[in-house]
Amino acid sequence: RLVIPSTISANSTRKDHAGVMDKIINLDHGDPTMYERYWRQMGDKTTIIIPGWQSMSYFSDPTSICWFLEPEFSKEVVRLHNVVGNAVTQGRHVVVGTGSSQLILAALYALSSPHATEPISVVSAVPYYSSYPSMADFQKSGLYKWAGDAESFNKDGPYIELVTSPNNPDGYTRKSVVNRNQGLLIHDLAYYWPQYTPILFASDYDLTLFTVSKSTGHAGTRIGWALVKDPEVAKKMTKFIELNTIGVSKDSQLRAAKVLKAVSDSCEEEYSQGGEESFFKYSYKALEQRWKLLRVAVDSGGLFSLPKFSSAFCTFLNQESEIQPAFAWLKCEGDIEDCGSFLRGHKILTRSGEQFGASPKYVRISMLDTDEHFMQLIYRLTTIQK
């Protein structure tokens, strides 16, 4: 029997049985609507008003390599990393992007050489984030080329490895796997935040990517940032964005700055004044409840299985904490070869393991959707196995 925690709306479970089973639930994308409840509760704390005369210029900060970087946004990025302890910001250049998606492309451009005799190989270990192959190959660039699974990559010479940690889709902590000199690494740390994984150390890499989409849930604001050691790489990334979009929306940067400020404030108030739960404590608990419900539903029969993780001490939460990924990497056991089609038959849309370079026995399911959709998922996974 499932016990529904009080923070998961009672209304969402009281739908009539037929209605619940009929509706298509789409958990293919990682749309972070779960966080809406928190931000509603924050009321006007993150409301911004931008008068018509403000933020009109293309330019933001002529002293920064990234000349379209809003100083207020940059300040809040540095502050949040210092509060959370998940990244070293000293000696780094901040480059802002329209989502971290734009920064991935900017980084591929910046790390490849215009003088190379052939495109540089771009690799990532299976299962890798499903967008990487098309990001690398969509424009058939002469500079870089998707070369697949990093585990089996054995070509000599330079390469770019995308290291996603915790990993999308499976949630495991990762390190680079090719481990040869001449490797240029892009660390995509979109999910290195306390609600998803214990913070073990401040990341200290050459090129690291973050995004508000997954940290605070503001995917629609389309803001990501890179922390870049080498000024020449930061310059090239800035040039790419200049050619691509002549900068990044100032309105969005100001909104993101306000949201990041509210998150840092919530952390500092919780610790210094015993105030309300911080954003991360709140979202850690929300995901904890979801993962418990999911594991109960999956364990109620023998059709499915989930990855197993061990807990570790989180330096931010100051407690032993669990790995609770933004996605469930669900495996269909037994005879079901195509888990995605099987679940589609039950009107649950997921992303097939094949898109991550893995077997179709796996699917990726978003854990960040609304309470209503999440509870329908739990209900269906339980009902299917009865």
8/106 with CB nearer ligand PMP: 106
- Nearest to 102, CA basis, from 71, 76, 68: 68
Residues of the shown chain interacting with ligand PMP in the complex, contacts defined by CB under 6 A: 30, 99-101, 129, 164, 168, 188, 190, 211, 213, 219, 224
Position with the least CB separation from ligand PMP = 99
Q: In terms of DSSP H, where are the helices of 207-249? A: 212-215, 231-245
Amino acid at 182: Q
Q: How far is the CB of 109 from ligand PMP (least distance, A)?
A: 16
Ramachandran region of residue 164, left (φ > 0), alpha (ψ -120 to 50) or beta? beta
224/353 with CB nearer ligand PMP: 224
Q: How far is the CB of 128 from ligand PMP (least distance, A)?
A: 9
101/382 with CB nearer ligand PMP: 101
Q: How far is the CB of 217 from ligand PMP (least distance, A)?
A: 11
CA distance 178 to 150: 6
- Nearest to 166, CA basis, from 332, 281, 380, 312: 312
Q: How far is the CB of 347 from ligand PMP (least distance, A)?
A: 23
Amino acid at 274: G
Kindly report the number of other CB atoms within 10 A of residue 16's CB atom.
8
- Nearest to 33, CA basis, from 196, 216, 204, 195: 216
Q: 124 - beta bridge partners?
A: 149
97/198 with CB nearer ligand PMP: 97
20/256 with CB nearer ligand PMP: 256
Q: How far is the CB of 95 from ligand PMP (least distance, A)?
A: 13
Q: What DSSP state is assigned to residue 142?
A: S
Q: How far is the CB of 222 from ligand PMP (least distance, A)?
A: 7
Q: How far is the CB of 116 from ligand PMP (least distance, A)?
A: 25
46/213 with CB nearer ligand PMP: 213
- Nearest to 192, CA basis, from 219, 211, 165: 165
Would strands 144-149 and 348-349 be described as parallel, antiparallel, or unpaired? unpaired
70/188 with CB nearer ligand PMP: 188
Quickly tell me which residue has 């210094």 as its tokens. Answer: 272
CA distance 4 to 8: 7
